[in-house]
Amino acid sequence: MSEATLYFIQQLINGLTIGSAYALIAIGYTMVYGIIGMINFAHGEIYMIGAYTALIAITGLATLGVAWLPLILLVALICAVIVSSAMGWAVERVAYRPVRGRHRLIPLISAIGMSIFLQNYVHLAQGSRNIGFPLLIEGGFDFGSADTFRASLSYMQLTVFVTTFICMTALSLFISRSRIGRACRAVSQDLGMANLLGIDTNRIIAATFVIGAALAAVAGLLLGMYYGSIDPLFGFIAGLKAFTAAVLGGIGSIPGAMLGGLILGVSESMTSGYLSGEYKDVVSFGLLILILLFKPTGLLGKPEVEKI
Amino acid sequence: MIANNMKHALFCAVITLIISYPILGFNLEARGVDITISGASTFTLVMVALAALVVFAFQLFRDRIMGALAAIPKPGSDSHKEPMEENRRAQIQSWILTGILVLALFWPFFVSRGSVDLATLVLIYVMLALGLNVVVGLAGLLDLGYVAFYAVGAYTFALLSDYAGFSFWMSLPVGALLAALFGLILGFPVLRLRGDYLAIVTLGFGEIIRILLNNWTSLTGGPNGIGGIPEPTLFGMEFGRRVKEEGNTSFHETFGIAYSGEDKVIFLYLISLVLAVFTALVIRRFMRMPVGRAWEALREDEIAARSLGLSRTAVKLSAFTIGAFFAGFAGTVFASKQGFISPESFVFLESAIILAIVVLGGMGSQLGVILAAVAVTILPELAREFSEYRMLIFGAAMVLMMVWRPQGLIPMRRIHIELKKQE
């Protein structure tokens, strides 16, 4: 293969890696929006807290002398998921439930406040400097090389793909088969009716936040390791990107969030690969603006009917 | 009942522990490539435990506490009091305002330079908050990228003075108009979006502007910013020790007084004061004009307003443009005050602070917004040890306001007639 092709494939792989992690975060946005129609602005912060918890767990285990990698990763993952889910639950309880059903802007402003609060909470507790995340999964394999360029798939990237795949499959099964999943779908179709039929909607909404937060925590661990460093602000941009992914795929639709995440990740890595890394954020925000302007329902979303 | 409460209270306390202990209880420290972890101080651990206990107790006795709180009469909701007559109230208000204005005019001559500098910053925030109040408070359009227009104003002045030698007074209208033009151009396509989508798009726009400023190094100097921005002049009189520009005279020589660095600071303060008052008055007029009423009508009920013949785009666009115009104003003053600007000053956090001011003060209420701008800017300076908690408190305050008092500290008052209750 020529160097140009290899370079392209490499960018594609990088993009899909980032994109699948974005998709994990985007699920949280899309599920919450699908059920109560609000943008959970603090979701990026929950993802960031997941990454911090994972790092704390990893460092703690290393201090204790645990060296078996799968155990470290598993413990970090479980800790991150537990803390983030609790955070997601608490955020919903404190900041969103009391303002549910009020004017559209009120939950959004409350969410922005929550996002600022959580950012500064971690900032004050852990400092504002970025902290290096140890690269636990090293190595990879090359699948082609030209004169000076080698295209490779690292084991880290493979881990991201596999984990995302497992999470997505589990989520799909959960939503389509389980009792809570069925209740989730019912609530997203018609909250009032679901309530009348005896579904505890408050609980289902809380469950939605918890599921979204758990997936965000997984993404936090994965992307933290992949990028190699985290700081209290790193949830903000990632959250915006994931929101873009959710909108791109059609907000409210879970397959849409997956598709949107992948498209966004690839377009971002293509921009940094062929233009300049500085402009990748411009491309994703530009993409967001264009989608909202010309196809607000996204790729797989259902059109919203304005009722008078 | 108690058993049920007990279960819930325990659950809440455990959640509190889970969300606070890992983050607060361990400190990560990077030493070179190694990361070390250390337990937090006993004080922090005690606080975490205390927080969990408080949550537990609150949830356990939730019903009683809420009942007790509801029993306390609210001081503000006393509706039996005879409302003051409208024109008498207006008279008193205008007297108070004049008094404050006179005080504000003479105050800087008696205080330290630092306080005057801070007051200038307060006035810049007042301008920004009043401008955003039009967009968010009156028209109900949540603009999260407001800082972009502020940046346009500031950079317009910096670039014009750098490349074309424009003075402050020439740049002031240009910067404001350019910011308004940006508002118009951005607003035209995005204003048909629904509330929350609009918020995200404006946020994206704000970030794009900042990234462009950061990376267009040949024009804006990138992260290094632009320095050497001139100060305003008074009829061609400069406030520096030496005259920088050909044809200008210096202030202290013209009036035959000794040179003092404070003159410049006070002059800038007075300019900001005049501009802030101008902003407040113009927006006040707008609020009473048909267009102002249209903003509110559209905010309250879009469908009803449209069916009465209001053009949605025109009304929203006017609010957006006017808001952007005053942000441009504030930006120009800011550039002149700092003498140096860089994209660092125009991050999303700045938008969030301005939004917090508007929300805390009371959306739509000019007086509330002005007071909130003063409080938000001055309080962290007064309590230095709390300044690092500033944003934490902002965030919490925004949430609490939305939950308990979404209309703000001083809600907007509208001219209205109340029916007297029949005996």
Per-residue pLDDT tens, chain B, 423 aa: give them. 667 788 888 888 888 888 888 888 888 877 766 777 777 788 888 888 888 888 888 888 877 887 887 777 665 554 455 556 667 777 887 888 888 888 878 777 777 878 888 889 999 999 999 999 999 988 888 888 899 999 999 999 988 888 887 888 888 899 999 999 999 988 888 777 776 788 888 888 888 888 888 888 888 777 888 877 777 777 666 666 666 666 666 666 666 666 677 777 888 888 899 999 999 999 989 988 899 899 989 888 888 988 988 888 889 899 999 999 999 999 999 998 888 888 888 888 889 889 888 888 888 888 889 888 988 888 877 777 777 788 888 888 889 888 888 877 777 776 666 677 665
Within 8 A of A132 by CB-CB distance, chain B residues are 30, 33, 35
Stretch 214-243 of chain B: residues touching chain A, C-beta under 8 Å? 214-215
Contacts of A107 (CB under 8 A, 6+ apart): A38, A96, A99, A100, B402
Higher pLDDT, A135 or A59: A59
Helix H or strand E encompassing A241: helix A234-249
- Total residue length of chain A: 308
d(CA B41, CA B53): 19
Per-residue pLDDT at B415: 63
Q: Is B199 on the interface with A (CB under 8 A)?
A: yes
Query: Beta strands A140-145 and B237-238: pairing type?
Result: unpaired
Nearest chain B residue to A119 by CA distance is B392
In this complex, the residue of B16, B201, B402 whose CB is nearest that of residue A109 is B402
d(CA A70, CA A47): 22
Query: How far, in Å, are B108, B182, B283, B321, B343 from residue B185 at the CA level?
Result: 40, 5, 21, 9, 22
Within 8 A of A86 by CB-CB distance, chain B residues are 15, 18-19
Per-residue pLDDT at B266: 85
Model confidence over A253-306: pLDDT tens digits? Answer: 888 888 999 999 999 888 888 877 777 888 888 888 888 878 877 787 776 655
Q: Is B416 on the interface with A (CB under 8 A)?
A: no
Per-residue pLDDT at A91: 93
Helix (H, G, I), strand (E, B), or coil: what is residue B37? strand
Q: Is A72 on the interface with B (CB under 8 A)?
A: no
Helix (H, G, I), strand (E, B), or coil: what is residue B339? coil
- Total residue length of chain B: 423
Q: Is B387 on the interface with A (CB under 8 A)?
A: no
d(CA A106, CA A39): 11
Per-residue pLDDT at A255: 86
Per-residue pLDDT at B236: 64
Cβ contact B316:B131 at 8 Å: no
Per-residue pLDDT at B350: 87
> Number of Cβ pairs closer than 8 Å across A and B?
177
pLDDT at A209 over 90: yes
Helix (H, G, I), strand (E, B), or coil: what is residue B413? coil
Q: Is A64 on the interface with B (CB under 8 A)?
A: no
d(CA B285, CA B341): 32
Beta carbons of A56 and B22 less than 8 Å apart = yes
B343-372 residues labelled b (16+ CB within 10 A) or e (exposed) = bebbebebbbbbbbbbbbbbbbbbbbbbbb
> Torsion over CA of B288, B292, B294 and B297, rounded to 10 degrees?
-90
Helix (H, G, I), strand (E, B), or coil: what is residue A104? coil
Q: Is A246 on the interface with B (CB under 8 A)?
A: no
Burial of B393 (0-12, 13-18, 19+ CB in 10 A): middle
Average pLDDT, chain A: 86
Neighbours of A298 (CB within 10 A): 23
Q: Is A21 on the interface with B (CB under 8 A)?
A: no
**Whole-number percent of chain A with pLDDT over 70:** 97
Per-residue pLDDT at A126: 84
Within 8 A of B355 by CB-CB distance, chain A residues are 109, 112
Cβ contact B352:B360 at 8 Å: no
Within 8 A of B18 by CB-CB distance, chain A residues are 82-83, 86
pLDDT-derived band of residue A8, with 50, 70 and 90 as boundaries? confident
Neighbours of A161 (CB within 10 A): 17
Helix H or strand E encompassing B237: strand B237-238
Higher pLDDT, B73 or A138: A138
In this complex, the residue of A56, A126, A289 whose CB is nearest that of residue B201 is A289
d(CA B189, CA B138): 20
Stretch 141-180 of chain B: residues touching chain A, C-beta under 8 Å? 142, 144
Question: Region A218-240: what's the mean pLDDT?
Answer: 88
Per-residue pLDDT at A115: 92
Q: Is A99 on the interface with B (CB under 8 A)?
A: yes
Q: Is B396 on the interface with A (CB under 8 A)?
A: yes
In this complex, the residue of A52, A108, A131 whose CB is nearest that of residue B199 is A108
Per-residue pLDDT at A213: 94
Per-residue pLDDT at B85: 66
Question: Region A47-54: what's the mean pLDDT?
Answer: 92
Per-residue pLDDT at A48: 93
Supply the ipTM of this predicted assembly. Answer: 0.84
Nearest CA to CA, how far is B28 from chain A (Å)? 6
Query: Beta strands B34-39 and A229-230: pairing type?
Result: unpaired
